[in-house]
A and B are shown apart, each in its own frame.
Chain A
Amino acid sequence: MISREDVANLAKLARIDMSDDELDHLASELSVILDAVARVQEVANSDVPPTSHPIPMTNVFRIDENRPSLSPEDALSGAPASEGQRFKVPQILGEE
């Protein structure tokens, strides 16, 4: 039902490197799990509305005013690398 190539593509989308062994293993496991969970389709008719959230709420906003927030030191305290008041990250864009 779900191939090794499918899993490789999903792993790429989810940004997780996976070994060949992991891909093989997950492909067979996910096929079993998907078979089991696919039964939701038996009762999910078009006249049933979906629920995304158990307690319906709309437009939860706070008042738009300044309030205390983390200091730069606190915000950077867990960073793998930082420089001045900035996170230091690997290169995101190409060379050109």
Chain B
Amino acid sequence: MIVNKSAIEMSQLLKDGEISSVDLTKAHLERIDEVDGQVKAFLHVDREGALAQAQLVDTKRKSGEKLSPLAGVPLALKDVMTQRGIPTTCGSKMLEGWRPPYDSTVVTRLRSSDVVILGKTNCDEFAMGSSTENSAYFPTRNPWDLNRIPGGSGGGSSASLAAYEAPLAIGTDTGGSIRQPAAVTGTVGVKPTYGGVSRYGLVAFSSSLDQAGPCARTVLDAAYLHEAIAGYDPLDSTSINAPVPPIVAAAKDGNVKGMKIGVIKELQGDGYQPGVLKLFNQSLEELANLGAEIVEVSCKYFDYALAAYYLIAPSECSSNLARFDAMRYGLRIGEGSAESVMNSTRAAGFGKEVKRRIILGTYALSSGYYDAYYGSAQKVRTLISQDFKAAFEKADVLVSPTAPTTAFKIGEKSNDPIAMYLNDIATIPTNLAGVCGMSLPSGLAEEDGLPAGFQIMAGAMKDDRLYKVGAALENALVNKWGGGILEQAPRLGAK
């Protein structure tokens, strides 16, 4: 089936004239019709827009125009990125029916690469969560087991890849929202260096942590998508004005001979599922067999990362989400004074987790508590950056399991915020320090047969190293398995 191919294989078929972008897009729309009733990855499917875009690319190709590598290949967009005229809800009732009047820079770049955007994927409300259960619309289901979560917040993007509804997707990662969904769905996800991909048009949750990035089924596909969306953007004042690292070249190279790979002592052991750790260690052996040198490093302040994150992210969220004031766009409920309209709109428009974080952040930022909570968390952030700096003096990349467990059952942790927050224990340090991270499949855990993720971290603007190591490991594992991990996933759909 065409939809099972990688984005780069699809690209080659398009170039060779074996298939048109219109037919490729139709095949994905049909796949969405076939399985999305079960998976529920999409909040909105833009059939007309996608087919019109595909038609345009086909015309360009026929006229001999030089096209980008991803031209005509379909993609799913996380619903926190604006796309002009297309509903953008952020998984919240607050923005139900809102059609943004502008494109995010990521969408602008996708358009200039002639990528076909199929629609918007489900996520936890305003990207706050680790399971996509906090979407105000419906939970997305894990294609490996429909009773389990697809991770979060970008569960829709990763599930759409694992269910072959799209070969590429965009995610956003504030504390692990690209990498943890990738881990539990058997796909690849990359959180670029902070400032490496523009945040313009990414609806802000925690501005100093939010980062958009690529999701795919293979490391090479992720590399092509990463290069298409990366680079300096004057519309984002935190965008890094420097050349994009040679990501695609690194993914094609995949040579780890002589590289030093640092295993973080603090990101394993207690709280990690034994089968996940076993796969992690097997992956390390593969890398050692390929000539990498494995060293152990200690990052002793990582134990405080989760606590710091759950002060910094809610603090920034309480400030960022003040914009939803019922005045200029979005929901408006009630009558009377402006203040009472705001109060009733925000009561009706925000879900439980968002309210919890706004109140927590308001508390952490209030006078009298600011130094003890937000101020202390900012200091921990410094300590974590220092840990990374010291560790990167001993190793070229750092590695850990991406998430402590495989996918849990829907509803299992929804009433225990702390248990839910622990999902992000290994992904959060990367966001706090602004460095980059990738998750790729390490195999199926022996306890439950569900996919686990291997996380690679590299220093700021060293994103190419993720791809070099990721490609090497993927290649070794795929050879061992005799095919991609998704080939072992249960078949979805009626046929």
- Tell me, yes or no, whether B366 is within 8 Å of chain A by CB: yes
Interface residues of B (CB under 8 A from A): 98-102, 193-195, 208-209, 234, 237-238, 240, 301, 304, 307-308, 310-311, 318, 322, 325-332, 335-344, 346-347, 350, 355-356, 358-360, 362-363, 366, 372-373, 375-383, 385, 417-418, 431-435, 460
Do A60 and B237 touch (CB < 8 A)? yes
A contact residues vs B (CB 8 Å cutoff) = 2, 6-7, 10-11, 13-18, 22, 26, 29-30, 32-34, 36-45, 48-55, 57, 60, 62, 70, 74-75, 77-81, 87, 89-92
Residue in contact with A45 in the complex, picked from B98, B310, B379, B385, CB distance below 8 Å: B379
Quick check: A48 and B347 within 8 Å, CB to CB? no
Contact between chains at B356 and A54 (CB < 8 Å): no
B88 CB to nearest A CB, Å: 10
Asked whether, in the complex, the Cβ of B99 is within 8 Å of the Cβ of A43, the reply is: no
Q: Which of B209, B311, B346 contacts A16 (CB 8 A)?
A: B346
Taking a contact as CB atoms under 8 Å apart, the answer to whether A90 and B337 are in contact is yes
B381 touches A13 (CB 8 A): no
Give which listed residue, B336, B337, B434, contacts A54 with CB less than 8 A.
B434
Measured CB to CB, the nearest residue on chain A to B431 is A54
How many residue pairs link A and B with beta carbons under 8 A? The number is: 173
Cβ–Cβ < 8 Å partners of B417 in chain A:
29, 32-33
Q: Interface of chain B, helix or strand or loop or mixed? A: helix
Of B347, B360, B383, B460, which contacts A55 at CB under 8 A? Answer: B460
Contact of A80 among B193, B331, B340 (CB under 8 A): B331
Task: Tell me the smallest distance from the CB of A65 to a CB of chain B, in Å.
Answer: 12
Closest to A26 in B: B359
> 14 interchain pairs (CB within 8 A)?
A6-B363, A14-B346, A16-B346, A17-B346, A18-B355, A30-B363, A52-B378, A53-B434, A54-B208, A54-B385, A55-B193, A78-B329, A79-B329, A89-B327
Shortest distance in angstroms between A85's beta carbon and chain B's nearest beta carbon?
13
**Cβ–Cβ < 8 Å partners of A91 in chain B:** 336-338
Q: Please measure, in the bound complex, the distance between the C-alpha atom of A54 and the C-alpha atom of B469, giving whole angstroms.
A: 24
Instruction: Identify which of A13, A15, A44, A49 contacts B376 (C-beta below 8 A).
Output: A44
Contacts of B383 in A (CB 8 A): 43, 48
Contact, CB under 8 Å: A15 / B346: yes
Contact B373 A51 (CB under 8 A): no
| CA distance in complex: A17, B337 (Å) | 14
- Write the nearest CB–CB distance from B355 to chain A, whole angstroms: 6
A81 is contacted by which of B101, B332, B377 (Cβ under 8 Å)?
Answer: B332
Residue ID in chain B nearest A27 by CB atoms: B359
Which of A44, A60, A77: most chain B CB closer than 10 A? A44
Of A2, A10, A29, A40, the contact of B311 (CB 8 Å cutoff): A40
Give the residues in chain B near A26, CB-CB below 8 Å. Answer: 355-356, 359
| Inter-chain contact A54/B380, CB cutoff 8 Å | no
Contact, CB under 8 Å: A51 / B238: no
* Chain B residues closer than 8 Å to A34, beta-carbon distance: 360, 363, 373
Kindly list chain A residues whose C-beta atoms are within 8 Å of the C-beta of B99.
77-78
A74 touches B101 (CB 8 A): yes
Across-interface contacts of B342 in A (CB, < 8 A): 15
Q: A37-B311, A39-B307, A50-B381 are in contact. Are A57 and B337 (CB under 8 A)?
A: no
Contact partners of A92 in chain B: CB under 8 A: 337-338
User: Which of A43, A52, A79 is most buried by chain B, counting CB atoms within 10 A of its CB?
Assistant: A43
